[in-house]
């Protein structure tokens, strides 16, 4: 009761007539990081920063939720973000996955035989293990991993918005990125001559982390994800909601303000400059800086208006039109009884991929792009995560299926709830059967609670009409230099939304603040230096 009273008083204290130093649209991890970074590098009494969030709580996709006493987590793992946490003063208790952090269960669809591949943490351990287990490809594996590591480390030498001279220097300092940066992962990978299908499968799994198959995902995206989780993979010990809580706590300590249950309807622009935002209901809040962290297509098309952008920068407007958002997902969170021994089944790791491998993910993606869902008993790809072995509490697992399109999910939920629930039930049973067959024997006997999220769920929570779960799709033509720029043509308006994941979201948020503060945070670098 006391807590609720405190919150109401706090919210009513927000002075909406005061001009803000910065307004952040959306209180997900990108919005929280953007706002905390501003607060950390400004005097918030002079330059107040306000987050406006449409939901009753912050966090967006980075959250946990309780159903009948089970704590379900939305996300599964993050790479090493510790330098960013340290810079911002975020204290979070994380579990580091030692031993293996991911397992791949490769199912032969004809014989139904399963090959289990464990991926250990640590670049060198990983390399040695692969070279030992696949001696016929040892040299190629070593060459690929060394080359990709060197290319990954070049990322630390890139500037976010390089000057002409800096761009020229990149040719010398980042030769691998210059040569291979615009390739798809497959194009890049194929040149190393790795032939063993299991090894190919392992590396393709990293591309699939971004929701795209290796023949479509940007090489740099896949290498970045691979090398950063190889360094270390973590999960918050109290669930992902703790990450959000710690960001919110830090933000308030630094004097930041949060307006919940408030939807931004328009971004105010005059003479090519941002002036603030208009809320649903018409109220306006003014600021010379706005960071939007919602679906960039919605922000630019519906909140600003593409014509206004086109007048300033035709190319940017065109890019907004072309950008494709990442796929959505179908998630089944299962509360289990105490009888099942999840640790004994090796589930205490970051992620389990259960896949028919080969071309499966590419074919599923191809069909997804046509609006179909082509999962069958002989062609599937999914993730299985066990948060409860990290967070403690009642045992649970989540089955995560990607790529899934919006299809008729929203229409069904709005117009025919019975049909919507039936479809959810049937589809969830299909995936549960597969997990029972290939990963967790007798799973169904142990299920006590089932909570399903569909693309309609993700569309509703994020406000992204496609229900995309990984922001913009990191195709090779929308990554690095070719991605939709963070600095929009409208002076003072920034959109850091990155292609994928919590790490990328946080980094994008730091980068836009670095732009606003004219390189005072990162020195214009695309990454925090490893020694910081
Ligand atoms: C099921 C799932 C599993 C994932 N697993 C991982 C993982 O293991 N590791 C990883 O790194 N990443 C993972 N991701 C991706 C990661 O969670 C996202 O990339 C990241 O959380 C996106 O954060 P964001 O702040 O950019 O967007 P969001 O979280 O979507 O936040 C946007 C916020 O804006 C608000 N908003 C929207 N419109 C408006 C408006 N008009 N006015 C005001 N507020 C508005 C929304 O309510 C929302 O809170 C996962 C995502 C999902 C869905």
Helix segments in 78-137, DSSP class H? 82-88, 123-133
User: Which CA distances in Å does 468 have to 121, 220, 228, 323?
Assistant: 29, 21, 23, 12
Atom of ligand 1 nearest to the CA of 502: 11
Rounded Cα distance, 483 and 477, in Å: 7
CATH number of 94-121+232-237+327-469: 3.90.660
Q: What proportion of the chain, given as a percentage, has pLDDT over 70?
A: 97
Average pLDDT, the chain: 94
210 lines ligand 1 (CB under 6 A): no
Res 429: pLDDT: 98
- Residue with CA closest to ligand 1 atom 14: 501
Tokens of 251: 């933000």
- Tens-place pLDDT, residues 453-472: 999 999 999 999 999 999 99
Tell how far the Cα of 207 is from the centroid of ligand 1, in angstroms.
Answer: 20
Beta bridge partners of 353: 104, 383
Tokens of 501: 């994941």
ipTM of the prediction: 0.99
Tokens 């994020």 found at: 462
490 lines ligand 1 (CB under 6 A): no
Which one, of 451, 453, 463, 332, lies nearest residue 398 by Cα?
Answer: 332
Using an 8 Å Cβ cutoff, are 359 and 414 in contact? no
Tell how far the Cα of 512 is from the centroid of ligand 1, in angstroms.
Answer: 18
204 lines ligand 1 (CB under 6 A): no
Atom of ligand 1 nearest to the CA of 29: 25
Tokens 């400059």 found at: 273
**265 C-beta neighbours (distance < 10 Å), count:** 13
Using an 8 Å Cβ cutoff, are 510 and 37 in contact? yes
- Residue with CA closest to ligand 1 atom 51: 469
- Residue with CA closest to ligand 1 atom 38: 463
Res 530: pLDDT: 52
Tell how far the Cα of 477 is from the centroid of ligand 1, in angstroms.
Answer: 23
CATH number of 2-62+240-324+470-516: 3.50.50.60
DSSP codes joined into one string, 240-285: THHHHHHHHHHHHHTT-EEE-S--EEEEEEETTEEEEEEETTS-EE
Tell how far the Cα of 61 is from the centroid of ligand 1, in angstroms.
Answer: 4
DSSP codes joined into one string, 160-209: SS--HHHHHHHHHH-HHHHHHTTSBHHHHHHTT----HHHHHHHHHHHHT
Three-state DSSP class for residue 227: helix
Rounded Cα distance, 292 and 27, in Å: 10
Rounded Cα distance, 71 and 73, in Å: 7
Res 529: pLDDT: 73
Using an 8 Å Cβ cutoff, are 131 and 142 in contact? yes
- Residue with CA closest to ligand 1 atom 19: 501
Atom of ligand 1 nearest to the CA of 79: 11
Mention every residue, 6+ apart, whose C-beta is less than 8 A from residue 388.
Answer: 70, 71, 342, 394, 395, 396, 397
Three-state DSSP class for residue 475: strand
Low pLDDT (below 70) residues in the chain: 1-12, 499, 530-532
DSSP codes joined into one string, 296-308: HHIIIIIII-HHH
Beta pairing class for 351-355 and 94-96: unpaired
Residue to mutate, 75, 251, 279, 510, ligand 1, most ligand atoms under 8 Å from C-beta: 75
Tokens 């399963």 found at: 114
502 lines ligand 1 (CB under 6 A): yes
78 lines ligand 1 (CB under 6 A): yes
Rounded Cα distance, 406 and 465, in Å: 8
- Tens-place pLDDT, residues 399-417: 999 999 999 999 999 999 9
292 lines ligand 1 (CB under 6 A): no
Q: Judging by beta carbons within 10 Å of its beta carbon (0-12, 13-18, 19+), is residue 132 exposed, middle or buried? A: exposed
Using an 8 Å Cβ cutoff, are 332 and 378 in contact? no
- Residue with CA closest to ligand 1 atom 37: 463
Rounded Cα distance, 342 and 5, in Å: 41
Rounded Cα distance, 301 and 484, in Å: 14
Atom of ligand 1 nearest to the CA of 351: 8
CATH 3.50.50.60 intervals, the chain: 2-62+240-324+470-516
357 lines ligand 1 (CB under 6 A): no
Atom of ligand 1 nearest to the CA of 264: 42
CATH 3.90.660 intervals, the chain: 94-121+232-237+327-469
């Amino acid at each position: 009761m006391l807590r609720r009273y405190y919150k109401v008083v706090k919210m009513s204290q927000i002075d909406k007539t005061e001009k803000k130093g910065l307004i952040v649209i959306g209180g997900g991890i990108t919005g929280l990081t953007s706002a905390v970074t501003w607060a950390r590098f400004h005097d918030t009494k002079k330059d107040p920063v306000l987050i406006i969030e449409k939901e009753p709580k912050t966090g967006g996709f980075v959250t946990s939720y309780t159903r009948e006493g089970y704590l379900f987590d939305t996300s599964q793992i993050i790479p090493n973000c510790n330098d960013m946490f340290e810079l911002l003063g975020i204290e979070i208790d994380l579990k580091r996955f030692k031993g293996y952090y991911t397992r791949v269960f490769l199912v032969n669809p004809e014989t139904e035989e399963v090959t289990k591949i464990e991926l250990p943490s640590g670049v060198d351990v990983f390399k040695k293990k692969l070279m030992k287990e696949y001696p016929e490809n040892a040299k190629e594996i070593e060459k690929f991993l060394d080359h990709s590591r060197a290319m990954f480390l070049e990322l630390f030498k890139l500037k976010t918005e390089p000057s002409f001279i800096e761009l020229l220097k990149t040719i010398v300092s980042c030769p691998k990125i210059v040569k291979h940066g615009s390739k798809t992962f497959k194009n890049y990978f194929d040149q190393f001559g790795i032939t063993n299908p299991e090894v190919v499968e392992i590396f393709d799994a990293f591309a699939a982390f971004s929701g795209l198959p290796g023949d479509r995902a940007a090489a740099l995206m896949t290498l970045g994800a691979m090398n950063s989780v190889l360094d270390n993979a973590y999960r918050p010990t109290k669930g992902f909601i703790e990450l959000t809580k710690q960001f919110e706590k830090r933000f308030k300590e630094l004097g930041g303000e949060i307006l919940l249950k408030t939807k931004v309807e328009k971004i105010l622009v005059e003479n090519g400059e941002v002036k603030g935002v208009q809320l649903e209901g018409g109220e306006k809040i003014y600021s010379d800086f706005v960071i939007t962290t919602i679906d960039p297509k919605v922000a630019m098309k519906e909140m600003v208006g593409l014509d206004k952008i086109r007048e300033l920068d035709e190319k940017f407007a065109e890019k907004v039109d072309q950008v494709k958002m990442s796929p959505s997902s179908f998630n089944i969170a299962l509360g289990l009884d105490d009888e099942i021994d999840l640790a004994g089944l090796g589930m205490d790791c970051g992620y389990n991929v259960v896949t028919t491998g080969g071309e499966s993910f590419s074919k599923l993606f191809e069909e997804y792009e046509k609006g179909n869902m082509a999962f069958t008993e002989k062609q599937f790809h999914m993730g299985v995560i066990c948060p409860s072995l990290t967070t403690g509490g009642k045992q649970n697992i989540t089955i995560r299926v990607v790529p899934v399109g919006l299809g008729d999910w929203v229409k069904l939920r709005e117009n025919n709830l019975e049909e919507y629930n039936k479809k959810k039930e049937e589809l969830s049973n299909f995936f549960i059967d597969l997990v029972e067959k290939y990963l967790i024997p007798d799973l169904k006997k142990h299920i006590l609670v089932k909570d399903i999220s569909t693309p309609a769920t993700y569309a509703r929570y994020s406000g992204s009409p496609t229900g995309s779960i990984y922001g913009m799709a990191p195709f090779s033509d929308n990554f690095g230099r070719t991605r939709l720029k963070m600095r929009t043509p409208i002076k003072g308006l920034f959109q850091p939304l990155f292609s994928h994941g919590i790490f990328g979201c946080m980094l994008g948020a730091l980068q836009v603040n670095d732009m606003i503060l004219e390189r005072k945070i990162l020195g214009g670098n695309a990454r925090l230096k490893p020694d910081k």
